[in-house]
Amino acid sequence: MFYKRLVAVAVLLLVTTSMVSVAGCTVSGGSTAGLGNPVATSGNGHLYKVGQYNVAVLSGNYLEMGHQYGTLLRSQIKAMYSKTADVFNQMMHLFKPGMTLDKVEAFCLSQCVLYPKRLRDVMRGIQETTGLRAAQLALIDQCVIAQVMLEIEALPGIHCSSVTAWGPYTGNGPVVMGRHFDFPPLYVNFNPYLSVIVFNPDDGSIPTATLSYAGQIGCIQCFNKSGLVVETDDMSGVTPPNNKMHSDRIPVTAVLDDFGLDNSNLDELNAAFMTMRFQYPLLSNVASPLRGQTYEVGTTDVVRRSDTADGLVVIANTALDPQWNMPPTKDNSDVRQQNLTNLANNEKGHIGVATMEKIFDVTESNGGANVTPQDNNNPADSITCYEFVYQPSTRNLSVRVPSAKNWTQIKLAPCFAGASQ
């Protein structure tokens, strides 16, 4: 009888332990992600819901993480494909009638096959678990770059802007970065699928998170366990030959993933920027827990720039270094940059996360850079589709979309493998 009771207790303990590990979404090292209970689990991958945002914490080799990604977000990825196809059909009807969805998907796939193998493995895993064709996943993955590479817009220039503050501007408090992602209004339709995807690879690469749409493998911003953050903005207005786009180079969306997975400090990241021949001209604000800096990236040259103010870098689509010999801006990027600079100067010595959120809430018409539909209702030009504020030292990410009154904070630090709760 005692033996039977002992076995029953052991079984009960085993079942209880299993239930706890599922509820806690354990990542490598046995720590808990700290985002509440997971809403779904697949192997070593766990899905959370933080406000309206999906947070998928993936672990293992790249194919396994692709399987987890596809399983956990299957319905969102399929819905994202349907919405992406619908948006591209609308854009082509409005601005490029000779283009077809099949042609766009073929172009997107031609870019994804140039990804490094580890990212192709992620894509294969998603394909195997969602049933979507590679070209359909490629359309999701390249939905931002494809629009500009194929010139599916009526007006030149894609807005975006970013600020990083440290030192005197934060009162020597933690570094903080803010970013607007501005794109044609149709892209607001993708906001229900805005997700944080956390990759915890088992190959020794640095755990890295992306803020992207469900189904995307590449990214336009990433955040890694070492505290680095990299965001990118359009700079296609730069002077020739640096404005030429190269579809035979590794897409910038894959390069951003690599930057997060492979670099642990600003010196390593600088070497990566200076070595890469980029596919597309862009501006990039980067930061570590120590400071920030800006890269003006052409497809021939790269310039690392710091603004004249100690402790502040501000970008808004226009290269400022004299070497580019830039003509006067054709859009209002100089106005948006000056607006953000003015707002930062007004708060000098006091900029933290809450203050940066307030700066990024200010609309362009009120002296900021948040482009609302009221500021611009042209279907070809850009509005602010979403924005984020990030503190590298704590790995805390705040996200807001136009329909949300308040910012949503997502704690990334405990999602990274080996992190303590």
pLDDT tens per residue, range 271-280: 999 999 999 9
Percentage of residues of the chain with pLDDT beyond 90: 75
pTM of the model: 0.90
User: Quick one: average pLDDT of 323-343?
Assistant: 88
pLDDT for the residue 159: 81
Average pLDDT of the residues of the chain: 88
pLDDT for the residue 326: 87
CATH number (3.60.60.10, 3.40.228.10, 3.20.20.70, 3.40.50.2000) of 155-191+218-415 reads 3.60.60.10
pLDDT for the residue 20: 29
Give the integer Cα–Cα distance in Å for 357 and 231: 17
Reply yes or no on whether the pLDDT at 64 is more than 70. Answer: yes
pLDDT for the residue 34: 63
351-368 burial: b if 16+ Cβ within 10 Å, else e: bbbebbbbbbebebeeeb
User: Quick one: average pLDDT of 380-386?
Assistant: 84
Reply yes or no on whether the pLDDT at 385 is more than 70. Answer: yes
Reply yes or no on whether the pLDDT at 266 is more than 50. Answer: yes
Residues in contact with 191: Cβ distance below 8 Å, sequence separation at least 6, in sequence order: 385, 386, 401, 402, 403
The alpha-helical segments, DSSP class H, found in 54-201 are: 62-72, 74-95, 101-112, 117-130, 134-141, 143-149
Reply yes or no on whether the pLDDT at 366 is more than 90. Answer: yes
Reply yes or no on whether the pLDDT at 27 is more than 50. Answer: no
Q: What pLDDT, in 10s, does the model give residues 187-244?
A: 999 999 999 999 999 999 999 999 999 999 999 999 999 999 999 999 988 999 999 9
Residue given tokens 């009162």 in the structure block: 171
Tell me 154's DSSP state. Answer: S
pLDDT for the residue 376: 59
Percentage of residues of the chain with pLDDT beyond 70: 87
Give the integer Cα–Cα distance in Å for 372 and 385: 9
Q: What pLDDT, in 10s, does the model give residues 80-120?
A: 999 999 999 998 888 888 899 999 999 999 999 999 999 99
User: Quick one: average pLDDT of 36-48?
Assistant: 94
